[in-house]
Structure formats: C-alpha cells, structure tokens
Structure 1
Amino acid sequence: MARRRDDVALAAITFAIVALCARYASAVGTTPQSSFSYREGDPTGPTKWATLQKDWDVCDSGTEQSPIDVAKVEVSEDLDPLQQTYEPGDAVMHNRLHDFMLNWTGGNGGLTIEGKKYKLKQVHWHVPSEHTVNGTRFDAEMHMVHEDSTDAKSKAVVAVLFSAKAGKSSKLLRDLKPYFERLAGKQNGTEEVKGPVVDPAAWIDKASGYYGYEGSLTTPPCTQGVLWTIMSKVADASKEEIHSIESVKEANARPAQKINSRVVRYYKAAGATEAPAPAPAPEAT
C-alpha cells in the first residue's frame, strides 16, 4: 500500500512538473512542437490552436494576429531608419522541432525602433514565408525577436523575406547551412550545436524600407502587442539554402490572419524609387 501511495505521489509530481514546463514554454513562445502543427485540417493544425490549451484562445479570438498580407499601406513621414547597436557574438543553434533557432551565449546588442530600445534575443526561420506582400508569398522568412530592455513582455520582431527566384546565394544562410544540416532530423526538441561567431548587423539591409504594424507571435500562445517590422527589400537565397532551413519540417508557416482595423505603415528608405499604390511592391535586390 505504501509503495502504491509513493507511485501515486510520484505521478502527481511528474504531472505538475510537465504542466509547469508547458506553461513556461508557452509564455516564452517556444511551445514544444508535439503540442501543435502547421498541417491544415489536422486536429492540432492552425485552425485548432485556440482549442489546444486554455491560454491559447487568443489564437482565434485575437483581433491583432500575425502574420498578415501586406496590401493597403500608408507611407509614413514620421518613421525613422532602424538604429542598430548589434554586436558579434558566439551563437548556439537549436532544433525546436517546429523551426531552427539561433541565440547568443553573450551580448549581441539590439535595435532602436520608434525611440524604444530592444535587445535581440533569438532568431528563427519559416519556410515558406508567413507574411505575404500583395498576395505574394516568398520562399522563406527570418524573424529576429527582440525584447524591450526594460520590459521583457514588450516584444518587437524584425522580419526579412527571402526569395530563391534569382538563384543567388545568401551569405547569411550559406554560413549557417552546415548547422541546419547537422540539426536536421533531430527528434527530441532539445538538440543544439555550437554555432559560429555571428554579427547580426549584416542581416538588415540599411538601404531597405520597411513595413510596420501591431501584431502577435505567429506560434502559440499567439500573444498580441508585438511590434512588427518587415523589411521591404527581399533578400536573395539559393534553393539549396532554402532547403536546408526546410529540413527541420516540411512547412512551418501560419496562414495569413485578418488585418481588421489595423494600419500598416511604410517607411521609404532614402534613394528608393517612389512606391506605387496601393502598396509598395517588394524591392528588388
């Protein structure tokens, strides 16, 4: 009888620990892939995310969800160029099952957006792109996730779109391709490898304009209040480089969400050609 009580107590403790880990993972946007999927029509697919956990209901009820199709925009005169303070640092690469993620073991600087300072926390990739522009979907999308230096709950994401149409290589993806390949096929969601020294300052094209809007995380728990900046100059990548990102999963892009009453603002970089209506077309590289 005593042994049975011990077994019951151990099971209860184990359940509590698992539940606590799940809540923590959900809070930081790193929910285990086993709990959701990107397959349309799947019981754990995007249209069902809100039903999978109680604190994921905003995935369905939220009115400021991401990603979106960037179509109607307003050219804004009060936006400024992105002010970078990025620094090179030793990187660590992870296979989170639903994507590849890169973060740093030390400081790596950040970005000032609309007068607020954000620290770069991690970078991950989606294939194909989650955001579309005038209905055009791109081969891949990189998300640079930042947190407010004084409030970790306040997040800003810079998105870079990639296209393999021109067949040109991306130095960024070329340098990371061996690490994607080493992590491909890992199944427990905790695999990581030491990466190269990475300087994110080279990842944002200073000659690019950008789109800005208020949105959410694109994975459960779909937390809103995220400041999105989507670079309008599309980066080149080879098909092989795109495939190396895709090797983590067949596809990991959430469908576009309703824009509702939100306004997407556009910052035109100095020297850029005049943007046509209704929205600036993706800028050629």
Structure 2
Amino acid sequence: MLFHTLLLAGTASASCLHGLSKFKRQEGGEGGVPISQFGYTGLIGPLNWASLGPENEACKTGKQQSPINIDQSVSLATERPVVTIEQQPVEFENLGSTVEVIVNGTTSFAGNDFRLKQFHVHTPSEHRVGEEFFPMEAHFVHEGVTDPNQIAVISVLFQMSANETSTPFISGLRPHLAAISTPGTKTAIESGLDFASMINHVQTTELFQYTGSLTTPPCAEGLTFLVTKNPLPLDVDTFNDIKRVVKFNSRYTQNTLGEENLIGVAMVAGTEQQFTPPPVLSPGQGQEQEQEQAAGGEEQPTPSAGAGVREGEGGAAQITSGATVVISEIAGMPTSLLAVIA
C-alpha cells in the first residue's frame, strides 16, 4: 500500500522525494530546478495538501504520519548506522519549499544497504523531543540499494550556540546562499562539503528510531526515521542566513503514531463525533498514579461539599459519617455521582 501511494507521486515536486529513482523529477526552467507546488501557508499549506492531488490522500488519512513529538514511547535504535560520504562536488538547489544538496553516499543499517541521494533542511525543526523544538533539522534521504522502495531518513537536529561555530557541512553552505536566494535556482559547490563531524555524530550519539512518513506530499508511510537525540551546534549568523532563504518550512506535529490523523480529528471537532482529549495531568501526577497502581492502591474520589460536609480549619472540608457528597472526579476523569459516607 505504501509503495502504491509512492508510485502515484511519480511527478510530484516534493523535497523529500527528490533524487529517488522511483520518481520522475520535473524539469526546471532554463537549466534551473523544479519549484515545489506545495507550501506551508494558506491553501497550499499542510492542512490542504490532500487537495493538491489524489496522490496526497495519506496526508489526511494516514495514521503513521511524521513529524512527531518524540516521547518515551519511541525507542532508541539498537545499532548504529555506518555512514560513508566521500569528498565530492555537490549541487546546491532552492526548491522553494527548502534548500537541498545533491550528494552521493552510502549507509548500512539493520542489515540493509542504502544510497544517500540528497539532504535538505527545515526551519524550525519538524521533530520535537520531549515537546522541545529546535531551530533547524536536516534530513538525509536514502533509498535501498537492492530494493529502491526502502526509504530511510537520518534526521539531524541543531541547537543554537553562542560559543561554537556551526558544524562544517552547514557552515559550508553559507557562502553559496546568495547564489540560490531565488526559488528554482542552483549552484555548484565544487570543493564539496565536510561531512566528517556529522558522520561521527550520527555514529556515536543515540538515535531515536520509528516508522513514519514523508513530511511533505504525498505523505507516504513506511519510512524508517533515525533522529539524533543530541543536536549539533548552529551559530546565530549561519542560522539567520539560512532562515532568510528557506523561510518557514515545517509541517505541524502529527498525532501519536497509530492514532487518528489530526485532519480527521479537526473535521469533527465540536460535533457529537468529536474526539475527547485525555485529562491534562500536573507535573509528576502521572508518575504518582502509576506508583499508587503499582502498590495496589486505588484512586480516591474527589468529593464536593454537600449535606453533612462541614468546613474545618482553614476552610477545608471535613467529611463525617452519614455525609452526602457529590463525587466530581475519579482517576482524573470528570464524573457526577451522589454518595453517602458510611
């Protein structure tokens, strides 16, 4: 089903797809590059991507959509990818939806070999870790060597730093940004980029691993995401120069993996078919409840004052035998029950 969806996107101009052999890339005008036909604002933005073409159906129906907030439910990868990127000339492009570098490399992971096809950036980050977002994220997009239908993305997060310069493969882009400031333009970086520190980082830091989707149309699912737990440094001037060209290009955080697509949730919001959110717990409350349950304890109901309930010192309610109370909450869920204290 995933790859049927991917094949429908044969002429899609989507940053996550560029360079992959499964897709026919649109030609740019006068030696330029194709400009993406989707965006991040208004009617071409993420809420309406499914309307831009039938191949984008997963954008509004898929339940394994990316990006996500990475929480405790997302596991760490149990092995490290082996990444090789030789020194080489690269092509730097402005697709309108992002800036992208066409570069060759290889990655071995989980018994599979992948070819690196390109990397592109998102400002701000698309993934969040424990609800925290980052100023920038780079996606290194790979396809399988023996099975091009296999797609893997290594996602590198960046954090602003006042004391460190940007990691070299990002700082190496800065002198060439002016040449691609207009969407549809490209330039060659003949000297290439220095990926050594990035490779070392990916192969030494912990990585979150999950199965998700393209974060741009057609939002096809079944991709392997490896997201760095710790970010690389990004200096302020480099970030501002990249942001000035890229603008804002992050898809909103998707629902928990396996749960209803948020567009489907929005379609019934405020109606009888609406999805009711879980109660919001105060810091530490969830942990306390788990500890009580583990100890065999039961959640105590929260009473409201009624007949037989009188105020004690400091205005606190004192419940006596025979008192009538209204139970307004059980296990964090609102309720309305009339009870008599034995």
Q: Which residue of 2 aligns with 1:179?
A: 176
CA gap of 1:27–1:176, structure 2 versus 1, over 3 A, is: closer
Shift of 1:28: 7.0
Q: Which residue of 1 aligns with 2:69?
A: 69
**Superposition RMSD on alpha carbons, in Å?**
2.7
SS of equivalent residue, structure 1 residue 192: strand
Q: Give the 5 Å matches for 1:133-148.
A: 133-148=129-144
CA offsets 1:67-113 (integer angstroms, 9 cap, x no match) = 1000123555x811221233221111011111110013xxx331111
Contact 1:88 1:198 (8 Å CA) reproduced: yes
Q: Answer yes or no: is 1:112 the counterpart of 2:111.
A: no
- The higher-RCO structure (CA 8 Å, 6+ apart) is 1
CA contact (8 A) 1:86 1:110 kept: yes
Closer, same or farther in 2 for the Cα pair 1:98/1:163, shift >3 Å?
Answer: same
Matches within 5 A, 1:1-285: 23-25=11-13, 29-30=17-18, 33=35, 35-39=37-41, 42-73=42-73, 79-104=78-103, 108-170=104-166, 171-184=168-181, 186-187=182-183, 189-204=184-199, 205=201, 206-261=203-258
The answer for the alignment partner of 2:280 in structure 1 is none
Question: What's the CA shift for 1:223?
Answer: 1.5
Deviations 1:110-130 (A, max 9, x none): 111111111110010010000
8 Å CA contact 2:79, 2:110 repeated in 1: yes
Taking the aligned partners of 1:149 and 1:34, their CA distance within structure 2 comes to: 27
Larger mean Cα displacement after TM superposition, 146-155 or 131-140: 146-155
Deviations 1:41-85 (A, max 9, x none): x11111110111111111111111111000123555x81122123
Determine helix, strand or coil for the equivalent of 1:51. Answer: helix
Structure 2: gaps of 5 or more residues: 1-7, 19-25, 27-33, 260-286, 288-342
Secondary structure of 2:79's counterpart equals coil
> Residues 28, 103 of structure 1: CA spacing in aligned structure 2 closer, same or farther, 3 A cutoff?
same
Task: Please identify, of 158-167 and 250-259, the stretch whose mean Cα deviation from structure 2 is larger.
Answer: 158-167
- Equivalent residues of 1:110, 1:117 under 8 A apart: yes
Q: For structure 1, list consecutive stretches of 5 or more residues without a partner in the other structure.
A: 1-19, 263-277, 279-285
TM score, norm. by length of structure 2 = 0.63
- The equivalent residue for 1:275 is none
SS in 1 for 2:225: strand
What CA distance in whole angstroms lies between the structure 2 residues aligned with 1:196 and 1:96?
22
Aligned twin of 2:275: none
| Residues 1:43 and 1:22: Cα distance change in structure 2 (over 3 Å) | farther
3-state SS in 2 of match to 1:25 = coil
Per-residue CA distance 1:210-250 (angstroms, 9 max, x = gap): 10000111111111111000011111111111122212232
Q: TM-score, structure 1 length as denominator?
A: 0.75
1:167/1:26 CA distance change after superposition, 3 Å: same
1:167, distance to aligned residue in structure 2 (A) = 4.6
| Cα distance in 1 between the residues matched to 2:80 and 2:191 | 28
Aligned residues: 237
Letter paired with 1:80: E
> Alpha-carbon deviations, 1:162-186, whole Å to 9, x = none?
11144521122221111123211x1
Counting aligned pairs with the same residue, the percent is: 29
SS at match of 2:155: strand
- Specify the SS of the correspondent of 1:152: coil
Displacement over 4 Å in runs of 4+: 30-34
